[in-house]
Structure 1
Amino acid sequence: MSNVFNSLSGRILTPSGWINGTIAFDQRIHTIGHDAAVAGNRALTILPGFIDLHVHGAAGTDIMEGGDAGAVVARTHARHGTTSLLGTTLTAREPAIRRALEGLAGVIAARPAGGARMLGVHLEGPFLNIHRLGAQPPDVMVASLAQVQALNAIAPIRVLTMAPEVPDHLELIPALRGMGIRVQIGHSAGTYDDGVAALNAGATGFTHLFNGMTGTDHHAPGMAAAALAHAEYAEIIPDLQHVQPGVIRAALRAIPRLYGVTDATSATGMPDGEYALGTQRVFKCQGCVRLATGSLAGSVLTMDQALRNFVGLGLDLADASNRLSRYPADYLDEMERGRLQPGAWADIVVLDEALHPVAVYVEGEAIPLNNAETQNP
């Protein structure tokens, strides 16, 4: 084995805090050490690569297209510091879901050159409540264990979004958890009590908190209230459009390991115009994506912008980083990702003073960056 390592010097975020030093790595991190020669305040910032557990598309490409869509999405998001992700489906008829998973299977098995590591699938549809679809198409189904097992055999499902109040769904949660799938509550018209029951049955998170679920009415609390009262983990879209900043701050205080996702669509990194979100037509304008009705329909967020948004909300940089790297890694039990320490995968993002990526490494591979796109998604 070669003993030649790449190295980076700067202000490094380690699991035990910041150090000014040098990190040496090949595919994995070899050493991290203090270096007195590294300047403090003006040094480059070196963080764990971002981990996005909810990604539908980018660069004009939608995961539901199947084929090489996953590779396009993985390469595009890698340029913004995302070093691993889950390819995320939409509600659709089963043949379309199978086609999407067949396309993702190859990307999961072999990381595309220049792309992020696809860790598996987030099956966001079709096991949702038809009354809380948001931008999802209306092809909902009632889940069965046999159906999930058949889909999981095509490509590994790491996260599955489900409306637990739909008949038979609550009883299915323990079996899904036994398969190693994280069940998330989302696109749900259920009550607070339904949410608590789902958590007690083994559900572990909430999909894009506050969006696509019942809320926090103090007389009739819903799923969002159950999350604030009981959740250890939940995902949130920090584009400052899906959730108002004050509400994000409230969730940050209530949920210990609230983590950010992009819910990015095919419009990410593209000019204003019309794009696909599964079978839906969506429109990018003024930094967001909407259906023709005006309803929000995913986002054009990238994880580097999510970091800057969290910092803009008042989070210190280490906390913001944890919510985009370490917590999602912990949620999936990916203990060799989401942290910079010897033996971990060399998934690294290097930022300038304005928190824009100047270098990204995925498992030690340097990712070519398009600086104009990186700074203006």
Structure 2
Amino acid sequence: MSSCNEKNSFNSANTQTKDVKAFDRDKTIGYLKRCLEFLPKPYESSDTHRLTLAFYSLSGLDLLGVLETEFTQERMNNWIDWIYAQQILPDENNPGTSYKRIYGLTREYINNKLRLIEIQNLMKGFAVSGCRASRLPFDASNLAMTYTALASLLILGDDLSRVDKSAIINAMKYLQKEDGSFTQTYQGMESDMRFVYCACAISYMLNDFSGINIDKVVQYIKESQSYDYGIGQGPGLESHGGSTYCAIASLYLLNKLDEGLLSKDKTIFWLISRQESGFQGRANKPPDACYSFWIGASLMILDSFEFIDYEQNYDFLMETRSFGGFAKCPGSYPDVMHTYMGVAGLSLMEESKKLDPALNISLKARKNLLKSVFKSE
């Protein structure tokens, strides 16, 4: 499957009106590099999402074209090894028999716990990661972290040869619910469009869709489309820019766009209607920097990106910049997620040939995927 067609380029030099700041690449590069080294104190509660935070920095630097010039190959190899250290592999030395030594529990409870451990031992993928380089007892694989881990490995030039691909695909069968949605962990509490996208992107990157029930995924997406033809996190929920992207990208990766969208034209209209200056995620909400990617990439996949107001989108993104990063909105502090999404949004306009909108990785990383997994150039 070829990447989505990109029809437009955008010269930021033509947008210097209203005293809007120009995009300072060097400061943004510095901000993303710092985020790879350490994160501010408010991020302490997000330590378990370290793989995703690393993806934002690595992919942002990749889109800016400086990953190889800013870091040595040895440094990138160390990151590759760290990512692989988070992979959950079979643990023959931890069969889970310790529950037999717990007193005061019913046999049914113990058997259920042993069954849970048995299934968890089958659930191989990439865990919510810390700094460790070895598996801890009862670690659980995580669908979102598996997606960002695979994407980061491709960005770093890895060929995915150390990924237990069949185990990940088989594990996903335990994460899909009857309604077609996915949870991020076995017996997880959340199941929605975010994890549908993760499952589809993982399957695409591993070139194997046998771990998901495609018909159920398509039906779940159909049922999640609202009266306004935006798409919510699930059936009956409000249309949202992030979940609309996840649904559209999933259908594209499944090659089911025509079948899955109830009305392509009306969905495009809903997406275009989200622009004020920048893009809002929901109707009657203020614009937010991250939706320059979520909405922009959705329109790019649907071959309708030319309908946005490039200049206003660019100006809004520049207004959210401070300390080298991008913030949610003007006047707020920057964070690594909005910084990455700001860079990705700019890539759709200024450097449109650098971003694959469906996988959310650079075309260079996608080329590595085609070479390493699909065995084609």
Same fold (TM over 0.5): no
TM-score, length of structure 1 as denominator length: 0.28
Q: Which structure: larger Rg?
A: 2
Greater helix fraction, Structure 1 or Structure 2 = 2
